[in-house]
Amino acid sequence: MFQGLDKMDDCWVLVVDDSSLMRQLLLSSLKQVCKVSAVESAEQAIDVCRDAQPDLVLMDWVLEGMSGIEACKKMQRIPELSEIPVIFVTSNTSEANQELCWEAGAVDFVPKPIVPKTLQNRVKTHLKYKRQTDLLKQYSFVDGLTGIYNRRFFDLEIVRLLKQASRLQQPFAAMMLDIDFFKKYNDEYGHLKGDDVLRQVATALKQQVKRPIDTVFRYGGEEFVVLLPNTAKKGAKIIAEQLVAAVKNLCIENRGSPLEVVTVSVGLAFLAEGEYCDTTQLLHRADSALYNAKDTGRNKYTVFV
Ligand SMILES: Nc1nc2c(ncn2[C@@H]2O[C@H](COP(=O)(O)OP(=O)(O)OP(=O)(O)O)[C@@H](O)[C@H]2O)c(=O)[nH]1
């Protein structure tokens, strides 16, 4: 499973340093290992990471403006950045500084003056570890049939995301989706064709949720869940409408449905800023909205009230 992980050419390290001399030194040392680019400030680094997530950040400790430690802490609080490993580059390796570095959530530190060979090996080790973790996640958290995240990952993610929404006082939206008249589809066209529909529906749903932190899960059978962190009612309703339309627009014939094509029903539940509920309560709300959508005609979304 882990063959080929020593090849790092396609990994990307972001260097954050306000000294152009250090940037040059770090860039030239690391370009023999992987792709590497550099920015001058922590603020720029966070912007770059939000746009495209590097595999690792090599962060100077002392920076003008936001310090390396502050930046690392901030990244931990931003869901889509919290899993990017950060290595500090520092000339002060006192015990107290090392403590700060671990507390901020860094995975390692490299002492100055830089020894290129040591830097390269530390970076290689962390890149390899990151790739192994990513690969393991991919294998254990991805549904074999549809290629989207599975129930196991959902069970972990929902707990983390709900805590995060509560801590950051952000709104949160969850949708429960169910394919309409799917039993009839299987009966009419057979299970293999049914599997094909599940794949196509999963792909269509995934295409509609575009922010990196929005996630689609196969919850089980012909049920899916979509989680939209930091999304308020208005935005979530638009997405729900798009999901319903996207599946209908696949135009997959279903003679067993009065609608004649494969459709989904969606139940939508929200948490307002500062509101908290646990996974069971949230899913119960989404599920009850879903049944409302089923009862009132299918091929639509309904909001839990
Ligand atoms: N092909 C296929 N079918 C599945 C899979 N998982 C669940 N199903 C089928 O999905 C169907 C779900 O049926 P029901 O729960 O009665 O729901 P429905 O027919 O969609 O009816 P409504 O939800 O009320 O519109 C069952 O026939 C299951 O066998 C799968 O992995 N592959």
ipTM of the complex: 0.94
Positions marked active-site:
222
Q: Are 130 and 246 in contact (CB under 8 A)?
A: no
Position 138 scores a pLDDT of: 77
Q: Would you state the CATH architecture of domain 12-141?
A: 3-Layer(aba) Sandwich (3.40)
Ligand 1 neighbour 183 (Cβ under 6 A): yes
Among the atoms of ligand 1, which is closest to the Cα of residue 191? 1
Position 196 scores a pLDDT of: 98
Q: Are 262 and 202 in contact (CB under 8 A)?
A: no
Residue nearest to atom 32 of ligand 1 (CA): 195
Lowest mean pLDDT among 76-80, 155-159, 219-223, 296-300: 76-80
Position 3 scores a pLDDT of: 58
Residue nearest to atom 23 of ligand 1 (CA): 180
What residues does 253 pair with on adjacent strands? 261
CA of 241 to the centre of ligand 1 (A): 22
Domain locations in the chain as residue ranges: 12-141, 151-303
| Residue 210 in tokens | 């575009």
Q: Token match 């700060």: residue?
A: 100
How large a percentage of the chain has pLDDT more than 70? 98
Ligand 1 neighbour 219 (Cβ under 6 A): no
Cite the beta strand spans of 156-232 per DSSP E: 172-179, 215-220, 223-229
Q: Is the pLDDT of residue 15 over 90?
A: yes
Residue 289 to residues 48, 139, 164, 176, 180, Cα–Cα distance (Å): 38, 32, 24, 8, 15
Ligand 1 neighbour 268 (Cβ under 6 A): no
Q: Is the pLDDT of residue 119 over 90?
A: yes
CATH class of 151-303: alpha beta
| Residue 149 in tokens | 């995240």
Ligand 1 neighbour 229 (Cβ under 6 A): no
What residues does 215 pair with on adjacent strands? 227
Q: Is 16 helix (H, G, I), strand (E, B) or coil?
A: strand
pTM of the model: 0.67
Which residue type sits at 138? Q
Confidence of residue 117 (pLDDT cuts 50, 70, 90): very high
- Polymer length of the chain: 305
* Ramachandran sector of residue 239 (left: φ over 0; alpha: ψ -120 to 50; beta: rest): alpha
Distance CA 132, CA 140 (A): 12
Residue nearest to atom 21 of ligand 1 (CA): 181
CA of 282 to the centre of ligand 1 (A): 23
Distance CA 42, CA 88 (A): 12
Confidence of residue 4 (pLDDT cuts 50, 70, 90): low
Q: Is the pLDDT of residue 171 over 90?
A: yes
CA of 187 to the centre of ligand 1 (A): 10
Ligand 1 neighbour 109 (Cβ under 6 A): no
Backbone angles phi, psi at 3, to 5 degrees: -65, 145
Position 11 scores a pLDDT of: 93
Distance CA 246, CA 266 (A): 12
Q: Is the pLDDT of residue 1 over 60?
A: no
- Mean pLDDT, rounded, for 138-155: 92
| Probe target for ligand 1 pocket from 145, 176, 183, 192, with the most ligand atoms within 8 Å of CB | 183
Q: What is the mean pLDDT of the chain?
A: 93
